Amino acid sequence: MIYLDYAASTPMCDEALNMYNEVNKKMFGNSSSLHDAGGQAAYVLDYSRQRMADMIGGQKEGVYFTAGGTESNMLVVQSILNGLPEHKKHWIMSALEHHSMYNLAILLESQGYELTIVQPDKNGQITVEALLPHLRETTGLVSVQHANSETGLIQDLAALSPLLRERGILLHSDAVQTFGNIPVDVAALGVDALSISSHKVYGPKGVGAAYLKPGTPWRPVYPDTLHENGFRPGTVNVPGIAAFVAAAEMMTEQMELHQQRYAMLRQYFISQVQKESIPLRLVIQESGTETALSHIVGCFFHGYEGQYVMLECNRSGVCISTGSACAAGHHEPSPALQALGASDREALQFIRISFGRTTTIEDLDVLAGILADLTHRQERSLSH
């Protein structure tokens, strides 16, 4: 099997697996227990919190461990809105957000919050000019994804944060796709809150983290919660968290090396597509790695529905996707793709290829061969 869906999930790396086994065997106590076994687990948790804070340029007190990126989004946004003054009932998110944010928006609407969805410019960027007309006295929070999971498009959060800070508006970012792949520094970006996930960086599934800058007002979604300083209920998954941190350390240490490889693989794949005259059009035209994550290649395959292409690849032992795995059961055009100007027809022709640490040129040759075969099949059917 050739796996090219790393933006959906990654296999656990050896560093994470070894850490998970070690902590599970030797430090299995409940981190809230007052005896020595609990104390050992609490020490691991405290150390993990500090290391996570170091990796995102934040403070230990602002790190809260969760069950993943979706839960981080849900809890962080609701907790902030809960903690804001009563008149701050308006919030803003970009049209490029993850499926979980759209689900959250429906819930918050039922609780009396008003949402504005801001569209990107022609380059896919959420700009100061796009945000400014929508800011009100009642606006409490703006949420802009650091990079889109379908296209890899990176947002310039550092350009937005001063505008919001001077108006007393908080900025949250879903950094699930960027953390471990490009530098994520909460101070440099100017964000007040962040969401990240373990299984995107070769850690275990069911683990994530939220960051809330100390001093940011928030109130728990679940009152009287005891764990994670009241942020989230339930016994803390210390082995999973330790494994997450081990994987994240590996990824951040090797970040530049991975990015160079991904950029090379991307260019190679695009050259093969051109050589074979495969009717693939990139959602984001090549303009350098500053604007898009190198390892995510989102494109439209002209003449075929994305789901058909994905199934044909799967039949040949190659795993690709048709977008965010969290929206896999929904066969409607993606709001993010529509926001970037794709028609409904184009959006349904979307496929996503994403590279990982073990992806090779040979893997991409196999994929290009499958796509070339589909192209020739299409040409033959048109000529009859």
Q: What is the pLDDT of residues 218-274, one digit of tens each?
A: 999 999 888 888 899 998 999 999 999 999 999 999 999 999 999 999 999 999 999
CA distances from 286 to 175, 281, 337 (A): 22, 11, 17
What's the Cα-to-Cα distance from 380 to each of 277, 304, 384, rounded to whole Å? 15, 14, 7
At residue 330 the predicted structure's pLDDT band, cuts being 50, 70 and 90, is low
pLDDT at 288: 46
pLDDT in tens, 6-15: 999 999 999 9
Average pLDDT, the chain: 92
CA distances in angstroms from 274 to 126, 182, 268, 374, 378, listed in the order given? 31, 28, 10, 15, 17
Q: Is 319 a catalytic residue?
A: no
Predicted local confidence at residue 289, as pLDDT: 44
Q: Which domains does the chain have, with CATH numbers?
A: 2-8+254-374 (3.90.1150.10), 14-252 (3.40.640.10)
DSSP state of 192: S
Catalytic residue among 13, 299, 313, 326: 326
Task: Report the percentage of the chain scoring pLDDT > 70.
Answer: 95
Please state the rounded mean pLDDT for residues 175-202: 98
User: How much is the pTM?
Assistant: 0.93
pLDDT band at 290 (very low <50, low <70, confident <90, very high): low
